[in-house]
Structures are given as C-alpha cells and as structure tokens.
Amino acid sequence: MTQFDQQFKDAILRIMNQGFEEYNERTGHSTKIIPGLTFELDQGFPLLTLRKIPIKIFVAEQIWYIMGSQKPDEFVGKFTKIWDAFTEQDGTIPAAYGHRWRSAFGRDQLGLLIKHLEDSPGSRHGVVITWDPREDGLGNPETKKNVPCPYTWTANIIGNKLHIHSIVRSNDMMLGCPHDVAGFALLQCILAARLGVQPGKLTHSISNAHIYDIHYEHAWELVERNNTHSPIYFEAQPEYFARAEQGDESLVYEIVDKLEKQYAPMPPIKGMKIVL
C-alpha cells in the first residue's frame, strides 16, 4: 500500500476499535471519535487508493481557493455541485476558504505568504488563518451555512522543501479526510513550484477525527482491503499558481490527467452518504 493508504487504514481501524462513541446533537448521529489524530506524509502524492476518490472535485476546489472567490458559480460550480448546500441566497459562501485566505481580513494572506517566503525563506511566520473569531463557532454556527473545518495552516521552507501543516477542527474520516488531505497536498505542490522549491512533508492534524454511525459498515469494509498500488507522484509547474489565480479551467483537466494516469484505485465503497 502507499504511505497514505497505510496511515489512513490504521487511523480508521483505531477509531473503530478505540474511539469514543458519542451522540452529536447538531447532526442527530452517533459517531466514533479519536481526539487528536495526525498524518505525516512525505512519500508520493497522498491520493487514497483503497477506494476511488473523485479527483476533479478537490482539484477544482483548490484552484477556486487560490482565486480567492466566495462565489461557487465563478468556478468550482462548473465542476461539482458539492458547495450548493453551503451557498447563501446571494450566491456567496461568506466563509469560503479562498476568500478568507485572500481578502476577508483586509490582507491577501496567500499572496503575502509567497512574497514573505521569497524574501525570508527561513521565516517561521508563514501562517494562514481561515477561522474568523468574530463570527465562527462558539455557539454561532447557525447564522450561516458553512463554518471552516480546516481553520489554519502553516508553511515552512526547510531543507529547500516546502512543508505544510494543516490543522482541522473536525474531519468526517470516511468522506472528508481523504479529500482534504489530497487538496492540501495539491496546494503544497502548487506553492512549492511557485517558490522554486520541492514539496516536503504534509502534516494533517485533526482535533476531532470521527466516523458517523451510518458509515460503520463502510469503515469495516475499508479496513479489510489491501492492495499493492505504486506510489503516486505529482509535479506542479511554476506557472500553475498564476493560472489558478486567473481561473484557468484547462488547469483542472491538466492536473486531473496527470493524476489519473497513475491512479488505479480499488472500487468505490457504495452507499456512503454525506452528513451535513
């Protein structure tokens, strides 16, 4: 198995065997939970092969984030309808990750990150925040449809490689986690190419790693799977960041093609439904 396959399988098995089973008031579902779970990934691109992952969705999302848009119709909605449930009546997602990264707090955090690491590659100040403490969480999620799950990430250049540490407050392990890990890995590759360094370690830390009751059977099915999939490799080009900023739709297909040529996953696990 690939490095990510093994770590993911181990995480699912640990949650199912050792997780606390608790009822979640907001969703009305029971979950098995591990508090504080971390993946450390530095061997190949972490695209789960134990079940099929829809590559086009996370690729289109990351390009949309780099654009800084808060309107799905401007880009990501052309590739997936997954954000429809979180879109307000005015067609926007106020907590859209890219919007938060690029303009929500009066600073273009992503643009400033690139300039800062170009000027000071040894800096430890490369922090990007998605969470807005003025309105997110603490009893206030009902005022809007979306509250960020990946709420911050850091970027460090060490050993001429770009290392990213994403911190996620809550991860649906069976559906959301593989998607989020692949998304941050793609962002890491695009930023590394823009900065002229290699991608390094991706650390993905989850405060509340949970499996919903309606996914228990699917989780047991996944941990029974084994394969011999070769590592997947992805190399971004230096111009990918600028093309993403411009909303270049052809970039989605170019990246998807590079990944799909190496991707031979096991069959989908059928019947998994998202819990909102």
**Predicted local distance difference test score (pLDDT) of residue 139:** 83
Give tens-digit pLDDT for 217-266.
999 999 999 999 999 999 999 999 999 999 999 999 999 999 999 999 99
> Mean pLDDT across the stretch 195-200?
98
**Predicted local distance difference test score (pLDDT) of residue 141:** 61
> Mean pLDDT across the stretch 165-169?
98
Q: Whole-angstrom Cα distance, residue 201 to residue 41?
A: 6
Give tens-digit pLDDT for 138-162.
887 665 678 899 999 999 999 999 9
Give tens-digit pLDDT for 68-93.
999 999 999 999 999 998 999 999 99
**Predicted local distance difference test score (pLDDT) of residue 143:** 58
CATH topology (fold) of 3-193+211-260: Thymidylate Synthase; Chain A (3.30.572)
Q: Whole-angstrom Cα distance, residue 71 to residue 93?
A: 6
> Mean pLDDT across the stretch 194-215?
98
**Cα separations (Å) of 244 from 59, 74, 227, 250?**
10, 13, 34, 10
| Whole-number average pLDDT of the chain | 96
* Assigned token pair, 241: 């960041």
**Predicted local distance difference test score (pLDDT) of residue 151:** 97
Query: Is the pTM here over 0.95, yes or no?
Result: yes
Give tens-digit pLDDT for 32-70.
999 999 999 999 999 999 999 999 999 999 999 999 999
Give tens-digit pLDDT for 91-123.
999 899 999 999 999 999 999 999 999 999 999
**Predicted local distance difference test score (pLDDT) of residue 144:** 63
